[in-house]
Structures are given as C-alpha cells and as structure tokens.
Amino acid sequence: MTATVLLHIVDGRRADPDGYRGLMRPRSLVFTLYGDYFRYCADGAAPLGGLSDVLELFGVERSTTRMVMSRLRAEGWFDAVRDGRRTSYRLTPQGWELLDSGRDRIFSHESEPWEDDGGRWTLVLTRTADRAARDEFRKTLAWLGFGSLQPATWIAPGDRRARALRALDDQPAGEGDVFLTHTGDLERDRDIASRAWDLEALGGGYRRFIERNEAPIADLADDEALVRRVALTDEYRRFPYDDPDLPARLLPAEWPGAVAHALFADRHTGLGPAAVRAIESRTGLAVVDPHRVAYDGTRVTFSFAPPP
C-alpha cells in the first residue's frame, strides 16, 4: 500500500471544518466512518441503507452515497454484498490494508531523542525525471514525514530508511538514494528543521485546531456527538501531511503540538460512547472494541484495550 494512495483518499477536501456538516467530502467521510466504526462491525461491512442514514447527518444525499460507494467498489476498496434486496459494502483486503496504514500513521506519533551534538537524519536524493511521478513521490515523502531542503533533496528526523526505500520501490519511475546522516550540531539541526518545514504554518494549524475544540464537551445527543467526533478526526488526520514529529529540541518555543495531541485524544475518547451508539442505532450493527487513542505527554498511541 503506497502512501500516495492514502493521500488521494482525502484529496480535494475543503480546508475549514467549522460548522461540521456539509464541509467534509463524502469520499473522505466514508473512509473516516469505516476507519473508526464499521471496520469493527463483524466482517467490515455496512448496509447501504444504514450508511446512507449516517451520511445524511453530514448533509450527504442518499443518491450521492450510492454513487460514491459504487465508485469506491469499482476502485477495489469495497465489495458489494447482496442479501435479498439488501446491499452491504464490505472492505476488501485492499481496503483493510488502507485503513491499517492510515491508522498507523494518523494515530501514532513519536519522536526519537535529540542530543546536544545533534541526532540522526534520513536523507533522500531523488532522480525522477517524469514530472507526474516526481509530484506523486513528493506527496508520498511528505506523508512519511519528509521535508524538502531542495527540489530533489528530502530529509526526515530519525532513521526512516526502510520507509523511504519502500516508497522508492512503490514508485514505478522512482529512482534515488537513501542515507542516514547527522550534522553533529544542535543549532544546525534547528536550522535544517526551520528550512525543511513551514513550522509557523503548522503551529498555526495546531492553534486553530485547539481553538475550535478546547471548549468542554456538553451533553450532546448521540447523532451530534457522532458529527463532532467525525469532524474532529477528519481535521486531525491532516496533520501528518505537514508534521514530521520533530523532536522537541528542534521545535520553536511554546510549540502547540503537544496540547493539540492531548486535546484530540481527550475529545476522541469523550465523544466515543455516544458516537458508537449513533452508529449502532442507525445501522443495526454492533461496534465491537474500536481503537482508543491516548497521549502520555510524549507520544500518541492507539490501543484496543477497554478503558479502565
């Protein structure tokens, strides 16, 4: 499963999630709903009628849901399963792999320690002549946490050689070299980080996320809790495109990332029971042991253990 595939699933989304309903693309919504809920229902299948009921909460018409699911089936992400007059859409092996890869990248954030004399960088030098292939590879490297120092020079903190080599292998026209290197100087590393990533824009994105979601969760009806939680996840899952999980020593002062991660974990957990009830009441399915997100002050993780 290439990272480019993960990227195109949510391409074309509208950037501002304020207002929640009507702002998330149906395609993106489908993968969020299957990733957080339907994958934990029996064999990863959801009835079209129930799925349509859920998507109506987000302003998606039933005819649009039918069209989107038909296209996703044609692309190989779902199988259509018929039982009399009832049609369900079940994840294919390709769809399961996509959700596994996305969950690992979106809900797992951890950086390695960075010493006074610097840390390790993974460096990728690309040699891709084809413009379209070069653009796809750029998106793939960004998803994997690489930033661009120059048009053909990409860098990421820590040892990410295995990911980079897999990305090269997944690109038919991809050619390049991968190195593990270090500068031996903390200040130079900070300079590299400031040039390879737009940390000002990323910090602004985290601050806006905090502002939109920091108000205490009120007593919400189940349907409203589902809408809020899906919007929360849809917004949060965009950060891996821009955030390489830099060590704290390379980040600007008063970096808001940790606050945003903690807030997401808290809200995702707090809204979970009501959101699950909404899914179950509208589809007749049982959501069994969905993943839970946690933040311990240094890293974001997900698990399947019941909460204490």
pLDDT (tens place) for every residue of the chain, 308 residues total: 444 444 444 443 433 334 444 457 899 999 999 999 999 997 889 999 999 999 999 999 999 999 999 999 999 999 999 988 899 999 999 999 888 887 877 777 777 778 877 789 999 998 876 777 778 888 888 888 999 999 889 999 999 999 899 888 877 666 789 999 999 999 999 999 999 999 999 999 999 999 999 988 888 999 999 999 999 998 998 888 889 989 989 999 999 998 999 999 999 999 999 999 999 999 999 999 898 888 887 777 777 655 44
Q: Are 57 and 21 in contact (CB under 8 A)?
A: yes
Q: Where does a domain end: 181, 211, 230?
A: 181
For residues 101 and 126, membership in a common domain is answered with no
For residues 210 and 160, membership in a common domain is answered with no
Domain of residue 154, residue span: 121-181
- Tell whether 264 is covered by a domain: yes
For residues 42 and 151, membership in a common domain is answered with no
For residues 270 and 234, membership in a common domain is answered with yes
Total domains in the fold of the chain: 2
Residue 308, both tokens: 């204490």
- In 92-189, which ranges are E strands? 121-126, 147-150, 153-157, 176-181
Q: How many CA atoms lie within 13 A of 124 on its CB side?
A: 33
- Tell whether 187 is covered by a domain: no
For residues 58 and 132, membership in a common domain is answered with no
Q: Where does a domain end: 181, 208, 232?
A: 181
- Tell whether 40 is covered by a domain: yes
- Tell whether 303 is covered by a domain: yes
- Tell whether 107 is covered by a domain: yes
Rounded to the nearest 5°, which phi and psi values hold at 35? -70, -35
For residues 53 and 137, membership in a common domain is answered with no
Degrees to nearest 5, angle at CA 174 with 168 and 179: 50
For residues 66 and 214, membership in a common domain is answered with yes
For residues 94 and 241, membership in a common domain is answered with yes
For residues 289 and 215, membership in a common domain is answered with yes
- Tell whether 188 is covered by a domain: no
* Confidence (pLDDT) at 9: 47
* Confidence (pLDDT) at 172: 66
For residues 131 and 16, membership in a common domain is answered with no
| Nearest by Cα to 6 from 166, 199, 197, 237 | 237
* Confidence (pLDDT) at 113: 79
For residues 142 and 223, membership in a common domain is answered with no
For residues 48 and 91, membership in a common domain is answered with yes
Residue 117, both tokens: 């004399």
- Tell whether 186 is covered by a domain: no
Task: Supply the CATH number for residue 174's domain.
Answer: 3.30.70.240
Q: Are 48 and 283 in contact (CB under 8 A)?
A: no
Q: Where does a domain end: 151, 181, 211?
A: 181
